[in-house]
Amino acid sequence: MEKRVVITGLGAVSPIGNTVDELWDGIKECKCGIDEIKAFDTSTFKTKLAAEVKEFDPLKFFDVKQAKRLDRVSQFAIVAAREAFKDSGITPENTDFEKVGIYVGSGIGGFETIQNQCRINFEKGNSRVSPMFIPMGICNMPAGNIAIDLKLKGESLAIVTACASSTHSIGEAYRNIKHGYQDVILAGGSESAICESAVAGFENMKALSSSTDKTRASIPFDKERNGFVMGEGAGIVVLEELEHALKRGAKIYAEVVGYGASSDAYHITSPDPEASGAIKAMKVAMEDAKIKPEEVDYINAHGTSTHLNDSTETKAVKGALGSASANVKVSSTKGNTGHLLGAAGVIEAIICTKAIENKLIPPTINYQVPDEECDLNIVPNKPLEQEINVAMSNSLGFGGHNATVIFKKFEK
């Protein structure tokens, strides 16, 4: 018999707040986390803006030795996981840690470590490369470090599907619990790639916004959009089998009821112009959730602020929901947070969960110029008070990776 899966803990480090409460307050207040890049000198770059995590001092969370041995991507992941785990109330007394897993992905992993150690290798020689280079740089280490930090001995996986990584992590964790393999899984993602090499790569790909006005840089669905803004941070959701959660008296934020995934099989960076893969992911998720399109109240769109993504995703929503797409509320919160790449989906899943809890639909901020190609109801600039029973979250990654998860207001 299939088991029900609920969310019992949330944790976040984001460009608009380093806890879930701060993140949600930033959404309600239409806060924009985008500003001039402080991580490096941008004088030779066209890209001047990013959504960096602010006021994050590793020494508040780790001793000096730990901090030096953890890339920023793992630091974010551990801090978010600690918050989510504490929020869940899980302890060795009420839960078997042998059946608590970690599904935490990253699009790029420890990119800053990779960049810096390669520079040392080329400038100072191979003998100067740190022995911690590999364990700090590889993509699985956010998951591995969470397991070590919290002493969790269940399945530990790192799903890497570019900007869909953390949504796939949530979906696969949901399936795992649904079919009885684990009782609890910490699912999500972490990213910290705001460094010279990554920005240069995305910039030369013509993917990044060149705007110097932070209120007109990440502008999803706006006709003047010209690229995405890089963000960083981490998010973790604690997924738990319902009976296990009820037995220990856990607070339940929402239920995970549907998951769909697909591949465009079209191009390494561009979405399929027919949106067939994204349509399939949404339809499969709705079938899994046993809901009809008209039951979806809110969609947190991938909405990256690139021309192709936003117009194609509009087509996908219409293709998946049909006539119901005229009524569903849709927004992209990347105007607030920038694009957190592999961590984007989980931050947006947390926002969906808080939206259900607080009966408030997040807006698409910084929106000014309507685009006839993006004619969904995108809730421009101001939050909308509305009961949300069903929320959908989409993520679309380079390589044609599509993922959709559906959350529902919990009812026994």
CATH code of 383's domain: 3.40.47.10
Q: With a cut of 90, say whether residue 1 has pLDDT above it.
A: no
d(CA 151, CA 153): 6
- In this predicted structure, what is the pLDDT of residue 99? 97
Query: Is residue 375 situated within a structural domain?
Result: yes
Residues 22 and 66 in one domain: yes
Whether 92 maps to a domain, the answer reads: yes
Contact call for residues 38 and 51 (beta carbons, < 8 A): no
Same domain? For 27 and 136 the reply is yes
SS3 for 3? Answer: coil
User: In this predicted structure, what is the pLDDT of residue 252?
Assistant: 98
149 with 278, same domain: the answer is: no
* Together in a domain, 144 and 292: no
- Do 209 and 131 lie in one domain? The reply is yes
Angle between helices 307-321 and 276-289 (to 10 degrees): 40
Nearest to 347 by CA among 172, 190, 219: 190
Q: What are phi and psi of 105, to 5 degrees?
A: -105, 175
Verify that 75 and 210 share a domain, yes or no.
yes
Domain that holds residue 146: 5-247
pLDDT tens sequence across 152-180: 999 999 999 999 999 999 999 999 999 99
**In the structure encoding, which two tokens stand for residue 360, read together?**
């408030």
pLDDT tens-digit map of 293-306 = 999 999 999 999 99
Residue range 362-366: mean pLDDT, rounded: 98
Choosing from 217, 247, 277, the residue where a domain stops is: 247
Residue 253 lies in a domain: no
Active site residues: 163, 302, 339
In the prediction, which pLDDT does 412 show? 86
CA–CA separation, 207 vs 398, rounded Å? 11
Q: State the pairing for strand pair 5-13/233-241.
A: antiparallel
Instruction: Tell me which residue has tokens 């969790």.
Output: 152
Neighbours of 103 (CB within 10 A): 29
- Helices 344-358 and 165-178: crossing angle in degrees, nearest 10, is 60
What is the count of structural domains for the chain? 2
